[in-house]
Amino acid sequence: MNQLRIRMTNWLLRHYAVCVELGLIVAWTLFVGRPMLNFDLTRWPNGREFGMAIHPHFIWTQLAECGDCVLWNGFFNGGSPAFVELHAAVLHPLVIISTALWGGINGAKVIIVGSLLMAGLAQWWLGLTLELGRVARVWTACVVVAAGHLNGKLEMGVVGLIVSMAACSLLFPPLLALLRRGSLRDQQLFAAVFALLIVSGQGYLQIGMLLVLPLFAFLLIREREAWTKLGASMGLGGWLAGVFLIPFLHFYPNFGKDADPYFASSQPLEWIPLNLVIGDTDFYLSTALQKLPYGYLYLSYIGWVPVLLAVVGLYALLITQQKRLAAVLVLAIGAFWFIASALPFRWAMSVAPDLAAIVRNPIVIAGLSVPLVLVLAGFGVDYVAKQPYAMLIAWLDKDNNTFRRLYWSHVLLLPLLVWSLFAVYEFSQKWLFLVEHHPETHTAAEAMDSETAQWVALPHGQHFWGAIAAAQGMKTTNEVRPAFWSGRSAPAPSQQLAFNPPSDSYQYEPIANTNYHKIRYPTEYYAFVDHGNRQTPCTAVAKGGHIDVSCEVYEAGTLVVRENAWTGWEVAINGVETELLPDVWLATPAFLGRNEYQFRYRPWDVRLGLAASLIGVLGLIYYQVQIVRGRRAV
């Protein structure tokens, strides 16, 4: 133990400067994200769609209780395979760990802060890869933590976009390292980060990265062997992400998503760069400059100082003969803006209209340009800091017998950087705050019956209800989702929570101390035996992919559980495995007397995907061990 402590101490002494840099970034992230560190469950991050965005996360709240039940998301609209989710990054380690430890609501707060930190460390790593100075890389990292392309997503509460944006930022450093050096370690790092990018949800940003990645490769690759390394690393990354890709490709023919062949949210190319410097909140909630009044789609604010320093940085690269790097950065930034304008997708409409139209909000891809603009700004900082201009003071360093000089550029630059940092911080706080939910919403949800599993309808269009219901283990139907199971209808509710009960409803009752009413639909059972001319209700306990049903009948029939049927479901009666009948719902023969039915979701595609991911991880570990032992060239 003492020897280990000595080694750690020696490592810290050798890398104290790096530790200080990372410590500053962590401290700044906690400062910026401190509103999210309030773990009061009645206070949620801002954004109308926050509840909808994190609803899929709740599968991980069941992990400790029922293990593999998390493979099926039974929280909304008849249930679906949990690992094919695109809107939320349910397979990203940050989401898994945060939700499992802190629950759906507070876990989301940790996810937001963790994503800001991930983006900041990615920017610092990128600066280190490109050999920026310490001040430049720490400053750019701190700017990105508070930048609008991350925090602005909370205007609508879309947590998944924050995770995905941070995961994309994390790919830039290993990508540049792989294309410039191509060592085995670079290939491993790229593969691991590429896998994290694949499982980080949304899809928009992944499309943007994949479209621009060939540009990086074309401009930086000088040897044919490097193309092979890049392809192999991408293949390994896909292998590592097999736990998502294999189930998703299996389910994809059933995948439905709202489309927009007109790309109404996109903004003309000439206006997109202005989002970097416009800090007016009202502007983003208006239709000015041909936008929709949804700020989260367009926010990329970093302020004028980083943008002007980026221009200086571009000049510095050109005069120092780093023209190739300058071309890569400028063309990549322009490419992200070009893709965000939707022009490529409009052209693609004539070739593959169904595929192109589902990319209905490409404008969010513009946010991927922010880390690259800040890299140019970092080069600008280094260039300005090295200019002598006029000397302010000089003194003799007695140890080295040399003169040390302090220039006006040093004195003026640091306050300018600090001012720009707090300017972007103040802008971030316009979106990064908590809102309090009225206690009666929680009271109303708790009043819904929960003795047996059933589908519950909640007030339509109010997206926060889903998360409140999921926190209480409720199954909700008629939920509004950006993606859906094509050809399947959501099950009818057994009960409904409504502000004003419909005039034709005959079984409703007011919920005490609230303005809500509970409406019952007594013939809409979750589990029942169908006898042809009548139905016998059964009791059920449903947790994800574990559904236990108890029935006592005196006439044989078919047990129907209104949960979407899909390959991977199995059923046993009193512990004896039996067959499932073909149906859109889970169905199996029901026999006389009292019987216990156990439905379990154990899909082959997830098992195959997990095996692929595990093999990939073991391969990474093996090659890392070889590197450490010195048996392979780094």
HEC secondary structure over 522-579? CCCCCEEEECCCCEEECEEEEECCEEEEEEEECCCEEEEEEEECCCCEEEEECCEEEC
Lowest mean pLDDT among 8-12, 81-85, 362-366, 399-403: 399-403
Check whether 222 has a pLDDT greater than 80.
Answer: no
pLDDT tens sequence across 246-257:
999 999 999 998
What gap in Å lies between CA 392 and CA 397, rounded to an integer? Answer: 16
What gap in Å lies between CA 65 and CA 304, rounded to an integer? Answer: 51
Residue that the structure tokens 């595609």 belong to: 605
What gap in Å lies between CA 432 and CA 594, rounded to an integer? Answer: 54
Three-state DSSP at 387 gives coil
Structural contact between residues 119 and 33, judged by C-beta atoms closer than 8 angstroms: no
Phi (first) and psi of residue 48, to 5 degrees: -65, -30
The H-assigned helical ranges of 130-203 are 134-146, 148-151, 159-169, 172-180, 184-198
What gap in Å lies between CA 379 and CA 193, rounded to an integer? Answer: 25
Q: Comparing C-alpha atoms, which of 456, 475, 558 is closest to residue 516?
A: 456
Give the CA-trace dihedral at 242, 247, 251, 257, to 10 degrees: -60
Amino acid at 89: A
Structural contact between residues 543 and 473, judged by C-beta atoms closer than 8 angstroms: yes
Long-range contacts of 506-510 (CB under 8 A, 24+ apart): none
Calculate the alpha carbon distances from 77 to 13, 254, 473 in Å. 56, 15, 14
pLDDT of residue 315: 95
Q: Comparing C-alpha atoms, which of 527, 526, 441, 529 is closest to residue 476?
A: 526
pLDDT of residue 395: 42
* Whole-number percent of the chain with pLDDT over 90: 69
Check whether 528 has a pLDDT greater than 60.
Answer: yes
pLDDT of residue 32: 97
Over residues 270-296, the mean pLDDT reads 94
Check whether 522 has a pLDDT greater than 80.
Answer: yes
Check whether 286 has a pLDDT greater than 90.
Answer: yes
pLDDT of residue 226: 83
- Name which residue leads in pLDDT, 291 or 631: 291
Lowest mean pLDDT among 131-140, 404-413, 436-445, 595-604: 404-413
pLDDT of residue 4: 61
Check whether 403 has a pLDDT greater than 50.
Answer: no
Three-state DSSP at 594 gives strand
Residue that the structure tokens 């509103």 belong to: 35
pLDDT of residue 185: 87
pLDDT of residue 11: 60
What gap in Å lies between CA 304 and CA 306, rounded to an integer? Answer: 6
Burial class (CB in 10 A: 0-12, 13-18, 19+), 43: middle
Domain borders along the chain are 2-434, 437-520, 527-602
Check whether 460 has a pLDDT greater than 90.
Answer: no
Over residues 140-150, the mean pLDDT reads 97
How many residues appear in the chain?
A: 634
Check whether 150 has a pLDDT greater than 70.
Answer: yes
Question: What mean pLDDT is reported for the chain?
Answer: 90
pLDDT tens sequence across 200-221:
988 899 999 999 998 888 888 8
- Name which residue leads in pLDDT, 182 or 597: 597
Check whether 97 has a pLDDT greater than 90.
Answer: yes
- Name which residue leads in pLDDT, 566 or 480: 566
Over residues 59-68, the mean pLDDT reads 94
Check whether 287 has a pLDDT greater than 70.
Answer: yes
Lowest mean pLDDT among 2-16, 294-308, 328-342, 441-455: 2-16
Tokens of 309: 């320093």
pLDDT-derived band at 390 (thresholds 50, 70, 90) equals very low
Check whether 347 has a pLDDT greater than 70.
Answer: yes
What gap in Å lies between CA 176 and CA 131, rounded to an integer? Answer: 12
What gap in Å lies between CA 351 and CA 346, rounded to an integer? Answer: 10
What gap in Å lies between CA 121 and CA 108, rounded to an integer? Answer: 20
What gap in Å lies between CA 410 and CA 425, rounded to an integer? Answer: 23
- Name which residue leads in pLDDT, 388 or 559: 559
What gap in Å lies between CA 239 and CA 355, rounded to an integer? Answer: 24
Three-state DSSP at 38 gives coil
pLDDT-derived band at 405 (thresholds 50, 70, 90) equals low
Tokens of 546: 């574990």
Q: Comparing C-alpha atoms, which of 494, 601, 618 is closest to residue 66?
A: 601
For residues 570-585, b (16+ Cβ closer than 10 Å) or e, as one string? ebebeeeeeeeeeebe
pLDDT of residue 396: 42
pLDDT tens sequence across 578-587:
999 999 999 9
Over residues 624-629, the mean pLDDT reads 72
* Paired strand residues for 483: 257
pLDDT of residue 401: 45
The second-level CATH assignment, the architecture, of 527-602 is: Sandwich (2.60)
Calculate the alpha carbon distances from 373 to 104, 172, 296, 336 in Å. 34, 13, 19, 11
Structural contact between residues 184 and 633, judged by C-beta atoms closer than 8 angstroms: yes
Phi (first) and psi of residue 473, to 5 degrees: 75, 15
Opening angle at CA 438, ends 435 and 440, nearest 5 = 160
pLDDT of residue 388: 63
Residue that the structure tokens 């930190």 belong to: 117
Q: Inter-axis angle of helices 172-180 and 93-129, to 10 degrees?
A: 50
For residues 241-276, b (16+ Cβ closer than 10 Å) or e, as one string? bbbbbbbbebbeebeebeebeebebbbebebbbebb
Over residues 603-612, the mean pLDDT reads 96
Over residues 78-102, the mean pLDDT reads 95
Q: Comparing C-alpha atoms, which of 228, 223, 231, 171 is closest to residue 196?
A: 171
Amino acid at 157: G
Tokens of 437: 């939910």
What gap in Å lies between CA 491 and CA 562, rounded to an integer? Answer: 7
pLDDT of residue 611: 95
Lowest mean pLDDT among 143-147, 420-424, 495-499, 625-629: 625-629
Q: Comparing C-alpha atoms, which of 216, 486, 209 is closest to residue 362?
A: 209
pLDDT of residue 2: 64
pLDDT of residue 443: 87
